[in-house]
Structure 1
């Protein structure tokens, strides 16, 4: 049986607005070998900001 945790690890996305707010998601290592960057909603500043993968 193949390990699903090796190909799709759980990553923490931290807000670039310096609020400390985080999202937790999974990513595919084969398609996204670099750090992931997504625009998501930050409820502390009440707007969409960029969230970057933290290791």
Structure 2
């Protein structure tokens, strides 16, 4: 497998609908489902859930 196929770059979009995103990489072999992380949204000024966008 090529590097980009195993660990693709993904966008994590805020569920607070502020339009704020984080960019990260994930391992498809260990986490084949969509990623959900609780991170800080500076626009909303609070921690919210960020979901993977494809």
Q: CA RMSD in A?
A: 0.8
1:3 CA displacement: 1.5
Unpaired segments of 5 or more residues in structure 1? none
**How far, CA to CA, are the matches of 1:33 and 1:45 in structure 2?**
29
Q: How many residues align?
A: 54
Superposed CA deviations along residues 24-48 of structure 1, whole A, max 9, x for unmatched, are: 0000000110000001100001111
The 3-state SS of whatever aligns with 1:6 is: helix
Structure 2 length-normalised TM: 0.95
Structure 1 length-normalised TM: 0.94
Q: 2:26 aligns to what?
A: 27
The 3-state SS of whatever aligns with 2:16 is: coil
Unpaired segments of 5 or more residues in structure 2? none
